[in-house]
């Protein structure tokens, strides 16, 4: 929401709804959904999610969902069948490991897809070693984007953003302190916000990656890299946007 999303709704297992309402920001809404015995999203939740998707612009899928079998089935079904612009992160990517062809089903859809793996997640998707991905980050990211007709954000030092046409951006903002829990979730939300405001997939991802890193740099100056947490990055998003707008106007 700090990146300009007008409305944000979190789809969660219904057993968590009351607890989340008590602690979540007032601006964020919740969508209670069917859950498994273990308390994760159930495949039965698909119908309710499908109906809700008629009223939204962008779907972010993955952060915090878990890796239970029923949940992973739900994730793959949503990825292959929804025609909404889609950002796939975290457990959304884990659900595709060994099932990567579900992305090919999206090739017929007109809406954009953005995947946001870190190096280890990309290695799992391609069933290769982390060392190989690390050694050939740019080549692997561009090949993946081309083969699956989507935009890739390969996270890490000098995050790479690339699309199916070979357009590529290497980011220079950010710092090691941002390798902390929740930082990637913040980035996914920023990408969704910019995509929802009309930017194409590549530019939404590029702009989000740059500002995410800049916000992290601003936060590190105040908190130090050692003490940086994801909420510190969120707090600095407005300042990062303001700084970027100022530099563009000069």
For range 14-29, the mean pLDDT: 89
Q: For residue 154, give both structure tokens.
A: 């390969």
Q: Taking the mean position of all CA atoms in its chain, how far away is CA 173?
A: 18
Q: Per-residue pLDDT tens for 196-236? A: 999 999 999 999 999 999 999 999 999 999 999 999 999 99
Q: What was the pLDDT predicted at 25?
A: 82
Percent of the chain with pLDDT over 90: 88
In a domain, 92, yes or no: yes
Q: Taking the mean position of all CA atoms in its chain, how far away is CA 221?
A: 25
In a domain, 137, yes or no: yes
* Residue 23 pLDDT exceeds 90: no
CA distance 14 to 57: 23
Q: What was the pLDDT predicted at 246?
A: 85
Q: How far is CA 152 from CA 53, 168, 190, 205, 240, in A?
A: 23, 10, 15, 9, 23
In a domain, 184, yes or no: yes
Confidence of residue 107 (pLDDT cuts 50, 70, 90): low
Average pLDDT for the chain:
95
The CATH number of the domain holding residue 149 is 3.40.1190.20
In a domain, 194, yes or no: yes
For range 41-55, the mean pLDDT: 96
In a domain, 1, yes or no: no
The pairing of beta strand 168-170 with beta strand 160-162: antiparallel
* Residue 249 pLDDT exceeds 80: no
In a domain, 162, yes or no: yes
Q: What is the count of structural domains for the chain?
A: 1
In a domain, 2, yes or no: no
Per the structure, the complete domain to which residue 35 belongs is given by 8-249
pTM given for the model: 0.96
Residues 6+ apart with CB under 8 A from 136: none
In a domain, 238, yes or no: yes
Is the model more confident about 173 or about 105? 173
Q: Average the pLDDT over each of 80-84, 102-106, 132-136 and give the range with the smallest value.
A: 102-106
* Residue 108 pLDDT exceeds 70: no
CA distance 82 to 149: 16
């Amino acid at each position: 929401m700090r990146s300009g999303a007008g409305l944000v709704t979190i789809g969660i297992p219904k057993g968590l709804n009351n607890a989340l309402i008590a602690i979540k920001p007032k601006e964020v809404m919740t969508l209670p959904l069917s859950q498994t015995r273990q308390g994760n999203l159930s495949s039965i939740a698909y119908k309710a999610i499908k109906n809700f998707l008629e009223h939204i612009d962008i779907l972010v899928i993955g952060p915090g969902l878990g890796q239970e079998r029923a949940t992973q089935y739900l994730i793959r079904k949503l990825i292959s069948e929804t025609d909404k612009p889609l950002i796939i992160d975290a457990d959304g990517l884990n659900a595709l490991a060994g099932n990567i062809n579900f992305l090919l089903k999206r090739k017929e859809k007109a809406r954009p897809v953005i995947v946001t793996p870190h190096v280890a997640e990309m290695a799992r998707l391609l069933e290769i070693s982390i060392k190989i991905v690390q050694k050939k980050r740019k080549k692997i990211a561009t090949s993946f984007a081309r083969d699956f007709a989507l935009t890739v954000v390969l996270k890490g030092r000098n995050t790479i953003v690339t699309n199916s046409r070979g357009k590529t951006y290497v980011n220079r903002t950010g710092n090691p302190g941002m390798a902390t829990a929740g930082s990637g979730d913040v980035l996914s939300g920023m990408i969704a916000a910019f995509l929802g405001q009309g930017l194409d997939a590549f530019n939404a991802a590029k702009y989000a990656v740059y500002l995410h890193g800049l916000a992290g740099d601003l936060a590190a100056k105040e908190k130090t890299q050692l003490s940086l947490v994801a909420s510190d990055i969120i707090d600095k998003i407005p300042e990062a946007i303001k700084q970027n707008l100022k530099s563009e106007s000069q």
